[in-house]
Amino acid sequence: MQLRPWARRTGARSRVSVVVPVYRVEQYVAACLDSVLAQASRGLDLEVVVVDDGSPDASGAIADAYAERDPRVRVVHTGNHGLGAARNEGLRHVTGDLVTFADSDDVVPPGAYATLLRHLQRTDSDFVTGSVARWEDGGLAEPPWMRRLHATREALTIEEHPELLGDVFAWNKLFRRDFWEGAGLAWPEGVRYEDQPTTTDAYLRARRFGVVPEVVYHWRIRHDGTSITQQRSSLEDLRDRWATKRMALASVEAHGSEAVTRVFRDRVLAGDLHRYFDEIPGCPDAWWELLHAGVVELYSARSLTHSGLTPAYRLVGWLVEQGRREDAAAVVSHLRALDGPLPRVQTPTGPRLDVPVIDLRTVAPAALELRPHEA
């Protein structure tokens, strides 16, 4: 039997290569690098490859200063080509048998890499993923859906846990480098939301992947308008979101499992649409047309009424499918004014949503119905 490269290093410390792209993060990058460098421990050494993606601020210089005083850090300076290209460039310079990623405005909590590495070695998995905490307004909170997806410590195939395809993040995972290269993985370039297509392919191509319940990454939520996730009202953002959803869906369908495809369509593919639906009131015509076209393309065969969205957003999704822009905007605006869930009413067939701002006689019952745990 041919041993994997990592297996031939028995008795040696595993080297974790961390790829850190930087762009306009001068106020955050030091905290990120400090948290990464602190991950070194018995049985684990570090190599940090910082890719200065043509940053116009002092980010690259800060990284250079780290490299001057710490031999574990190397800096690659490139023109500005975007996050996916920067990650791919970093991968061309790594030497470790394991690889992971960190975004330069985030922080890796103490012991995170050691936790991932232990489980990787114990389970002989191709990669391991852990939970994430959102770091917002000075506080940390683990999203309930991330806690649910990472509830147990185990090693799985995608058929055993297809909903984990919803954990699309690049930076809460530790990959065996030989798996990454052997599976032909790379980050899409020139498009936002590049995480989902690549992590989808990783789940689908892995012999098995490990899951740990620990929070292994602190994701900084910024409100200064510079974060990609704050730009959902732009046409460019929405075009890229549809593009990466198409890529991920194509990979899942090519995998050939009806069960995995069904879970992906219902529980994963629609996961962030509510954030786009929030932009409907007052949106430009071209943005609405693109939103409607994408929803019809991806969900006309199986309506968003089947999705894992909350009841109010399943209703909005159905209205978008039908091209009912004014009604969709009215529901979103009403939901904002309520500052909470839409009320429920009892009917002879069971509870349903109560939405006084639209004519419910023109709405399909499936768009209003509640599931048993939602009543």
Domains and CATH numbers, the chain: 7-229 (3.90.550.10), 270-374 (no CATH)
pLDDT given for residue 228 in this prediction: 53
pLDDT given for residue 230 in this prediction: 52
Three-state DSSP at 300 gives coil
Of the chain, the percentage scoring pLDDT greater than 70 comes to 95
pLDDT given for residue 6 in this prediction: 40
pLDDT given for residue 226 in this prediction: 52
Q: For residues 296 and 298, what is the distance between their CA atoms, to the nearest angstrom?
A: 6
Q: Which residues pair with 344 in a beta bridge?
A: 353
Query: What is the chain's mean pLDDT, rounded?
Result: 93
Q: For residues 268 and 36, what is the distance between their CA atoms, to the nearest angstrom?
A: 30
pLDDT given for residue 223 in this prediction: 73
Mean pLDDT of the 211-219 span:
98
pLDDT given for residue 43 in this prediction: 78
CA angle 70, 75, 78 (to 5 degrees): 170
**Kind and range of the H or E run holding 319:** helix 311-321
Q: For residues 124 and 6, what is the distance between their CA atoms, to the nearest angstrom?
A: 11
pLDDT given for residue 13 in this prediction: 78
pLDDT reading at 365 higher than 90: yes
Q: For residues 187 and 199, what is the distance between their CA atoms, to the nearest angstrom?
A: 9
Mean pLDDT of the 53-63 span:
98
pLDDT given for residue 31 in this prediction: 97
* Residue in 229, 205, 342, 317 with CA at minimum distance from that of residue 266: 317
Q: For residues 90 and 85, what is the distance between their CA atoms, to the nearest angstrom?
A: 9
Q: For residues 141 and 221, what is the distance between their CA atoms, to the nearest angstrom?
A: 11
Strands 73-78 vs 173-176: parallel, antiparallel or unpaired: unpaired
CA dist list (Å): 141 to 138, 219, 341 = 10, 10, 21
Which has the higher per-residue pLDDT, 204 or 222?
204
pLDDT given for residue 2 in this prediction: 33
Least reliable range by pLDDT among 25-34, 286-295, 344-353? 344-353
pLDDT given for residue 225 in this prediction: 52
pLDDT reading at 104 higher than 80: yes
CA-based Rg of the chain, rounded to a whole angstrom? 22
Contacts for 354 with CB less than 8 Å, ≥ 6 apart: 342, 343, 344, 345
The DSSP output letter for 152 is S
Of the chain, the percentage scoring pLDDT greater than 90 comes to 87
pLDDT reading at 229 higher than 70: no
pLDDT in tens, 335-352: 999 988 899 999 888 899
Q: Which of 41-45, 126-130, 341-345 is predicted most confidently?
A: 126-130
Mean pLDDT of the 196-213 span:
98
Q: For residues 105 and 30, what is the distance between their CA atoms, to the nearest angstrom?
A: 9
